[in-house]
Amino acid sequence: MTIKTIQIYDTTLRDGTQGEGVSLSLEDKLQIAQRLDEIGVDYIEGGYPLSNEKDEQFFQRVQQLNLKHAKVCAFGMTRRRGVEAAADPGMLALHKSGAPVCTIVGKTWDFHVAEVLRVTLEENLQMIADSVGFLVQEGREVIYDAEHFFDGWKANPEYARQTIRSAAQAGATLVALCDTNGGSLPEEIAELTRAAGEAVAEFGATVGIHCHNDSELAVANSLAGVDAGAVQVQGTINGIGERCGNADLISVIANLALKKTGYEVLGGAELGHLTELSRFVYETANMNFRNGQPFVGRSAFAHKGGMHAHAVAKAASTYEHLDPALVGNQRRILISELSGRSNVKALSAEYDLPDDDVLMREILAEVVRLENEGFQFEAAKASFALLVQRCAGNYKSHFDCVKYHVEVAVQADGTVTNEATVKVAVGGDIRHEVAEGDGPVNALDAAIRKALSDTYPQLREMHLVDYKVRVVNSEAGTAARIRVFIDCKDEKDVWGTVGVSENIIEASWMALVDAIEYKLYKDEG
């Protein structure tokens, strides 16, 4: 059987951030890009460099990541009407970004050409050709994003055909067919994808598929497009995006690799990190997990007592369509939560631990205990590393907390001051320091650094880059448990830690202490 390679094009960092409530910092975007590259994604769309300073900076910083596999794409629109491509600000921003791939979105639907762009149909064709041609001449690989392709083809098939042929003839290597309104059905996707592929074939171009999820069909439509000849699927991790979101690349990848035959994705790599990637993006975007998410959700392989649990204990395939370990997930038996030690065992090599079943059970039990209290370790690998070392008996703290105190005072003029006092034991010495900060956590951070920096000068290299707060059990109101995630970095690494408590200061302190301990632990090798 001939195996066909399907490219995975991720637009989490642009299209995903258009979703309501989704916001990513520059550091967030860089970390997600690194994870996408590690899992084998082919294209990473970083954003629109003309739209904001953060996206512009992303394209500068991403060049320092030394990505091993993925190509970085800059997104932009066709040149403006009446402006030459070489003088258009959008075209120049794409060129300046340094991205090796540029994705150009243009109008396919004659209705949009007339009512939105307000140009003639011929001018729109020229705008497409000029924009693609300019970037091709500048040595960039160009993907043409055919906006509203399916609706446009239904309204005026001949004009829609002309738009994608204009892009292909100008040098676009691939035309991405967009179901922008998300209202098409799989049979329509298949029929028009075949037609589009035939329309651009003579220019050596191929087609990809980009589906939105307004009819809950984005994944199904993407698979239909692949079966009809698309060689690339565009989407986002967890399907985040505007309105009802995009095709969920997690499900697309899993279906193509594990359910359908004749296709290869991610270079044929195993998908054991798929669940981890999904949860990392949720945590980085400060979003709640979707428990019922196929393949990677916490409930995807959960069984609640009775007949199901009994049957699964004898033969997992009775109520599971695949082995959850294939996607890095795990079976959960609700009531008495059972979970294999294989995931923990797989990590033992990373932490240089012995292959000891007793130790693996102890680590797993501690993870389960802490998760029941509200901890999550998918985006807090530093806290997990310390947990593993504690269970193995290899952990030795670099300092001990005697006490800490935070005071927030509001003056008569409304000025707010934050002061933290920290008393720690370092070896045989007691250090007692006071510091002010922009907030209580910043004050704590400053005070503990003052207490430790003489003994551990490498802490001056460590910087806090992100701080996130999540309510764990919102039904408890103001007495709810709070989960705090802290991301720190030094000259070499970025790491995440977690703390959980009913007291947000205590949760922050826990995460902050873990961040410092991990910095010292990793520097010791």
The string of pLDDT tens digits covering residues 78-128 is 999 989 999 999 999 999 999 999 999 999 999 999 998 899 999 999 999
91 touches 133 (CB < 8 A): no
The predicted structure's pLDDT at residue 465 = 87
Q: List domains and CATH numbers for the chain.
A: 4-269 (3.20.20.70), 291-339 (4.10.430.20), 340-397+461-525 (3.30.160.340), 399-455 (3.30.160.740)
How far apart CA 364 and CA 370 sit, in angstroms, is 10
Percent share of the chain, pLDDT over 70: 92
Q: Which residue has the tokens 């802290």?
A: 486
What does pTM read for this prediction? 0.70
Largest CA distance in the chain: 82
How far apart CA 337 and CA 273 sit, in angstroms, is 22
Q: How many CA atoms lie within 13 A of 217 on its CB side?
A: 16
Residues 459-476 pLDDT 10s: 999 998 889 998 887 655
Residue 336 has pLDDT above 50, yes or no: no
Nearest 10 degrees: Cα torsion 321, 327, 332, 338? 120
DSSP-H helix ranges across 98-217: 110-112, 121-137, 149-155, 157-169, 186-200
User: Both tokens of residue 501?
Assistant: 């408590």
Q: Give the 3-state secondary structure of residue 194.
A: helix
The predicted structure's pLDDT at residue 428 = 83
Average pLDDT value over all residues in the chain: 90
How far apart CA 198 and CA 138 sit, in angstroms, is 28
> 18: pLDDT confidence band, cut at 50, 70 and 90?
very high
